[in-house]
A and B are shown apart, each in its own frame.
Chain A
Amino acid sequence: MFRKIVVLTLLTAFSSSLFAASAEERAQTAIDTRQGLLKVVASYFGPIVGMARGQIPFDAAVVEKNAGKIAQLAPMLEDVFAMDTRASGLQSGAKDGIWEDKADFNGKVATTTERAIALAAAASQGKGPTMKAFGALGSSCKNCHESYREKDDS
């Protein structure tokens, strides 16, 4: 009897630590995935910032292409942030609000998608309208970061 209890206890402890490890791995994968997606978004956004700052020449074709890619990528933010990784205790820049107010988070994602589509459309209308649309897209990124991205600032 006693031996059975010991074995059962050990088995439970062992298997739960196995599950814990896999849960942590899953959470880490989710974190890596969403951070990776945001890096890809940034890589398409970067050249447009460079054009806005005058560091590289304005190129409507690049703006249209990159904004189009961002419009495809942005909706994926909703998917990659679907998994709540808070319980894992893993460090990431994601604030709790993402999962506490999912509707608002997804609404912000939708706004970004709309504005990326608008930027792609504005690209053919010249630099002025393009930069206005660029500002609108960037503000939607910023707006979401302010609500849901933890700055490492303490």
Chain B
Amino acid sequence: MSHPLSSTEKEVSSIKEVSSIEEASQPATTGTLVWDFPLRLFHWALALSLVGSWATAEAGFDWTETHFLFGYTALGLISFRLIWGLLGTFHARFHNFLTGPKAVIRALGQLKQKTPPGEISHIGHGPLGGWASIVLLALVMTQAVSGLFISDDIFYAGPYNSVVSSNLADYLGWLHHTNFNFLLAAIALHLVAVIWYLLGKKENLLKPMFTGKKDLKADAAQTVGHSNLLWRGFFIAAFVLAMILLLVNLAPEPEYF
């Protein structure tokens, strides 16, 4: 199986061309772009910001500001993903991967089956992975938003701590620390699922999250947009960045008296 090793922008714009060439030579399968570049960038940047948030939370007071930066980054990334789920490429859109309970139950049953060689179980998100991604988004969002308001009364205070009552801040502090455990569990489940797919179902989900490409049967090919979506991704990212900067800069000045 040959993958075109062009740059991402090229690979998006030339994807239809590439697949038609490959269809001619290899009618069975083709390296088709499923996860677009903005989505992959989002995924790995989010992973990085979560690891960074965790490390800086453990590292103590000197790392507070860095922890905040990771938190803002995570907030921006989740916001981007929510917009990308509405305006993004085919497999990034929520309505293309969020299914009803029947499909979820069926997917649960299929978890035990090996994927036949040369096949893939789902082109984009499966029903389980799709909902799992929503759960992860919600958990990270909860974590990032609650962090804005909380304080330990001594060393730390999120930028919006002073705008909420101390009762609410206490509650959100509890949420921030409890939700973290759920987030950790969800990430563990995510990793276990990827490993299970790799070793149990004999299907590599990790590689497409780097390359973006999966080997699809030609007739199942659902190609991912074209290059103007990269621009759209860029503009959405710029918009989200502006919103986050606004959020941080509009925070009330801490008062010292």
Chain A positions near chain B (C-beta within 8 angstroms) = 42-43, 45-47, 49-50, 52-56, 135, 138, 141-142, 145, 149, 151-154
Chain B positions near chain A (C-beta within 8 angstroms) = 61, 64-65, 152-155, 166-167, 170-171, 173-174, 254-257
Chain B residues, CB < 8 A from A142: 152, 154-155
Q: Would you call A135 and B154 a contact (CB within 8 A)?
A: no
* Docked CA distance A54–B257 (Å): 17
Q: Would you call A145 and B154 a contact (CB within 8 A)?
A: yes
* Docked CA distance A151–B150 (Å): 12
Closest chain-B Cβ to A63's Cβ sits at a distance in Å of: 12
- Find A138's partner among B154, B166, B171, B174 (CB 8 Å cutoff): B154
Q: With a 10 A CB-CB cut-off, give which of A49, A56, A135, A141 has the most chain B CB atoms.
A: A49
Q: Would you call B61 and A52 a contact (CB within 8 A)?
A: yes
Q: With a 10 A CB-CB cut-off, give which of A135, A141, A142, A152 has the most chain B CB atoms.
A: A152
Q: Would you call B153 and A42 a contact (CB within 8 A)?
A: yes
Chain A residues, CB < 8 A from B152: 142, 145
* Docked CA distance A50–B253 (Å): 11
Q: Would you call A151 and B154 a contact (CB within 8 A)?
A: no
* Docked CA distance A33–B79 (Å): 44
* Docked CA distance A56–B167 (Å): 28
* Docked CA distance A46–B256 (Å): 6
17 A/B residue pairs, CB under 8 Å, sorted by A: A43-B257, A46-B256, A54-B65, A56-B256, A138-B154, A138-B155, A141-B153, A142-B152, A142-B154, A142-B155, A145-B153, A149-B153, A151-B170, A151-B174, A152-B170, A153-B171, A153-B173
